[in-house]
Structure 1
Amino acid sequence: MGTLSPSDLRQNSSEKVVVVMVPFPAQGHLNQLLHLSRLITNHGLPVHYVTTATHSRQAKIRVHGWDPLTATNIHFHELSSLPSFLSPPPNPNKNENFPTHLQPSFNASTLLRRPVADLLRSLSNVYDRVIVIHDSLMSYVVQDFISLPNAESYAFHSVSACTLFFFIWERMGKPFGIESDFIKDLPSIDGCFSLEFVKFVHAQHEYTKFSTGKIYNTSYVIEKPFLDFLARDEISKGKTQWALGPFNPITAEEQSVHDSLKWLDKQDENSILYISFGTTTSFTEEQIREIATGLDKMKQKFIWVLREADRGDIFEVDIVNSVNRSEKMIENAASGGNGLIVRDWAPQLEILKHPATGGFLSHCGWNSCMESISMGVPIAAWPMHSDQPRNAFLVSKILGIGLVVRDWDKRDELVSSEIVKMAVKRLMGSKEGDEMRRRAAEMGGKLRRSVDEGGDGIGTAQLDSFVAHITR
């Protein structure tokens, strides 16, 4: 549907507070704030989820673990879509892995400022308080809330507390010391971002100063030291923070009988390696061959989600049929029932929850990390760009629930089939891997209990505190 009229904005006269979600138009960002919308509405507050018609559709059809169409208190504002020609197809053979093909769409997102401002003004006229929760990369778009006397904003940071802390700490010239020897293993951010994206981020930061506080999709269960660092006055500048994660459902509801789930039902416990490298990067044909060969050498059973990277408009091309490379190698790896190749959108939460899944070969995007941790599955990290190298550092060096397949310092080198084979063997066929699985299961249990009303309530208390604050 389109933007609601003022008369439709307040369906319940007893509601005094409304929440407006403004996600960044990329899959990992859209998904997180849609999950958070569910959590907020569970507390009885109406949520208006605001993005383009294309990205609204994308978020709804790809969400895991629940059905947004059944959430009666989430109102989708589907603004005019940005021109699809702004986003060229991905090029797997380019020199850098950062999704520069999406940059035109990122830049075009600033055009949403006016329609978002119009919506905020309409809501301001019918609610006592308007709460804007926006992706930190949409700070420019929501800036007009400051002209409304009854509106306030909260910046959502889509990365781990570890990644965000080190980024800020280093940018500030390391304003305080850290007593730990693990920093020597911290990957650099060289090669993580394109220069154009860095400029885009810096332009957004100019407007984050208007926010009242910060929200993270993480938990004190897994990132307490880094959340404590972020809360220090030198870093926080007096702004309150809330760790409301995990945003994703902790008990994923099976939405459909996907082929991958039916196949998993026939497999032994902890026997399957789930492989997915996210939505923003395409591998070269040569790298696909090396991965397939490594899996074949190990005779490792797997589910591999093999798709091209997203364009700005995922509905513009037939993504399902767009990957037709290295078929022979892939078929060899999957022969004899050892593997299943998924060309379409996979139910990742349900796959990770399944008892047959024993490991996750992942790009280490924060969405995937949180989903894997919450389901108690260890990670073989293959970081590509952005926050992923430091998420991999957190998973492997700090939490001890994973290992690194591709060393970030060697990111420009081909990962050989032998390296793939040895990494898979460590995770899926060794005592070291068994210990990672034990720790991951233990951490996942603690994380789930933290947001379970019958558990210790750390995460529940954080969400309750945030809702109490915005409804004060």
Structure 2
Amino acid sequence: MANAELVLVPTPVTGHLVSMVEMAKLLVDRDPRLSITILIMKLPIDSEVDSYTSSFAASMAAARIRFIHLPHVNLDTKISSGSFLTDFMESYKPHIKRAVADLTNSAASTWRLAGFVIDMFCTTMIELADEIGVPSYVYFTSSAAFLGLMLHLQSLQDEQHVDITEFKNSVAELDFPSFAHPLPAKVLPSVVLFKEEVQPFLEHAKRIRAIKGIIINTFDELEPHALGSLAGLGAPMVYTVGPILNLNEETKTKADGGGRGDDIMEWLNEQPPSSVVFLCFGSRGSFRDDQVKEIAYALERSGHRFLWSLRQPPSKGKYDLPRDYTDPVEVLPEGFLDRTASVGKVIGWAPQAAVLAHPAIGGFVSHCGWNSTLESIWFGVAVATWPLYAEQQFNAFELVVELGLAVEIKMDYRRDFRMESDFVVTVDEIEGGIKKLMEDVGSERRKKVKELSEKSRKVLTEGGSSYLALDRLIEDILNYMP
């Protein structure tokens, strides 16, 4: 049998790309007949993509995985526009078509194109796979519950003619098949609350129904209810292969010159076990000055040791990534660093996985991105939720209410380019959340987190649910290969 080549098309932002590459590594490690080509589109933001791919390509992990960097495409659409992502994907179709044609022409008889694996936001590429005559699979970087939400909202809109945007500012509680509990409208993702964005977003759900299968970064034991609801929502075959994590984070430290996390780890080594609360809000996480001060006062009042990854927001109106402060003194309350020097450390970028793995960490104040959620479960660290953008409000609700794995600081806070919360989370709310997080040592919640931590590791070992799902996926890829 000829070897099988998969073409992967990730959304070119770090959180999606890294997760898809880790999934690619699992595939080629499991079966020597598979090789993978990853097509890299160029967004006008997220410079980390290039340094990540260069670093990966230079490593031993690159055997049977290669990157093809596609040319830049100039778009008139502004990045903050509701149609930007759709226009961006459409503009890359000719480049992807050409790259795949070149690949197949150069392959001769050494391998056959087995299919496309496309990111959850690249579903328009399904048309190219259909044109070429190969199956397509979606790689879903979020939760099974969120997939259920997308499919259900799309049916509400297209079959029951519900205007989803009417839920904006609503206090309603909604029934969703992927949750056992009613979902407050206030935690719906911003993208479904705006007329110009909800349609392209729900088009992804419509296309997902028509593909060969969905590879999803979760595991059966984490989301049994949500996974059980998917077939009834019209989902095709689902392969739960998670948790897929990038635990070494070498690429980021290499890109920054090597030793950026060393002083952080040295500081943690000096702290007692489970004594430190870690605050980190993802690659796009930042706050206005007034909110930063409330966090600082809350940390000081809580009396707990802390490690705080504090990032400077992009200039107003700019869609850039946050960066480290030259000197955080400019934004912190006067004297804060001196008063907390013996118990706390304020840093910029953090090697998140390495920090969560450290025995000194006792709790994690998180933005609830799905990758971070899976990392916290993997390391058995309890979470206090403070979502900012994308589907994080929804994830926070799942963690706190549906799964009982986290405490709430806030679930409906928003800080993205579509909408922003008009309130400041108060020092009392933050302090209360941190104390609840750090002081409920024997709680049911912490027991659940520890149990799921053990399960998250077992599912990837031989005979585990995710191990078996990956085997099924490979078998299906090879069987459905044209």
| TM-score, normalization by structure 1 | 0.81
Kept after mapping to 2: 8 A contact 1:306/1:323: no
* Distance in structure 1 (CA, Å) of the matches to 2:287 and 2:127: 38
* Aligned mate of 1:352, from 332, 345, 356: 356
One-letter amino acid of the structure 1 residue matched with residue 65 of structure 2? I
Which amino acid in the other structure matches residue 202 of structure 2? H
The correspondence of residues 133-152 of structure 1 with structure 2, limited to 5 A, is 133-149=117-133, 151-152=134-135
Deviation at 1:425, TM superposition (A): 0.2
1:76 maps to 2:67: yes
Q: Tell me the alpha carbon deviations over residues 281-300 of structure 1, each in whole angstroms, 9 at most, x when there is no partner.
A: 43111111111110111122
Q: Deviations over 1:31-69 (max 9, x none)?
A: 221221221221232221211367896247569x99973
SS state of the match for residue 246, structure 1? coil
Please say if 1:22 is aligned against 2:13. no
- Aligned Cα RMSD in Å? 3.6
Compute the displacement of 1:323 (Å): 7.8
Paired residue secondary structure (1:267): coil
Equivalent position of 1:469 in the other structure: 476
Deviates most, 297-306 or 250-259: 250-259
Q: Is the 8 A contact 1:289 1:330 kept in 2?
A: no
Deviation per CA, 1:321-350: give whole Å up to 9, x if none. 478575332861673232222223x22111
The alignment status of 1:128 with 2:112, answered yes or no, reads: yes
Task: Say which of 369, 374, 378 aligns to 1:370.
Answer: 374
Say which of 440, 450, 455 aligns to 2:459. 450
Deviation digits for residues 201-254 of structure 1, max 9, x if unmatched? 23445544552111110000101221111123x422xx2111110111578889
CA contact 1:120–1:130 (8 Å) conserved in 2: no
Aligned to 2:467: 460
C-alpha distance in structure 1 between counterparts of 2:57 and 2:268, whole Å: 22
1:78, distance to aligned residue in structure 2 (A): 1.4
Query: Do the aligned residues in 2 keep the contact of 1:187 with 1:393 (CA within 8 Å)?
Result: no
Distance (Å, rounded) in 2 between the aligned partners of 1:39 and 1:28: 17
**Aligned mates of 2:66, 2:276 — CA distance in 1:** 38
> For the Cα contact (< 8 Å) 2:247–2:354, is it kept in 1?
no
Per-residue CA distance 1:149-206 (angstroms, 9 max, x = gap): 3x2110122221112213423442499x889995235454556226243243234455
Unaligned 5+ segments in structure 1 are 1-13, 89-99
Residues 189 and 394 in structure 2, CA contact (< 8 A), matched pair in contact too: no
The question of whether the paired residues in 2 share the 8 Å contact of 1:273 and 1:300 is answered with yes
Aligned match of 2:93? 113
Taking the aligned partners of 1:202 and 1:178, their CA distance within structure 2 comes to 16
Question: 2:426 aligned to 411, 416, 423, which one?
Answer: 416
Identity over aligned pairs, percent: 23
d(CA) in 2 for partners of 1:409, 1:281 = 12
| Greater alpha carbon shift after TM alignment, 183-192 vs 211-220 | 183-192
Q: Tell me the residue number matched to 2:211.
A: 211
Which of these residues, 18, 25, 48, is aligned with residue 37 of structure 2?
48
What residue ranges of structure 2 are gaps of 5+ in the alignment? 161-174, 415-420
Q: Give the length in aligned residue pairs.
A: 436
Matches of 2:437 and 2:426, distance apart in 1: 17
Measure the CA separation in 1 of the matches of 2:424 and 2:320. 31
Distance in 2 (alpha carbons) for counterparts of 1:104 and 1:41: 33
Matched to 1:287, the amino acid is Q
Check the 8 A contact 2:310/2:348 in 1, yes or no: yes
Tell me, yes or no, if the aligned pair for 1:187 and 1:408 is still in contact at 8 Å.
Answer: no
Q: Is the 8 A contact 2:289 2:331 kept in 1?
A: no
Q: Give the letter for the 1:343 counterpart.
A: G
The CA distance in 2 between the partners of 1:87 and 1:330, in whole Å, is 39
1:338 matched to 2:348: no
Partner residue, 2:20: 33
Task: Within 5 Å, give how 1:194-209 maps onto structure 2.
Answer: 195=194, 196-205=196-205, 207-208=207-208
> Do 1:363 and 1:381's aligned partners in 2 also have CA atoms closer than 8 Å?
yes
Whether 1:244 and 2:241 are equivalent positions in the alignment is yes
**What does residue range 218-297 of structure 1 map to in structure 2 within 5 Å?**
218-232=218-232, 234-236=233-235, 239-248=236-245, 258=261, 259-297=263-301
Q: Is the 8 A contact 2:38 2:65 kept in 1?
A: yes
When the two structures are superposed, what TM-score results if normalisation uses the length of structure 2?
0.79
2:410 alignment partner AA: R
Look up the SS of the partner of 2:94 in the other structure. Answer: helix
SS of match in other structure, 1:360: strand
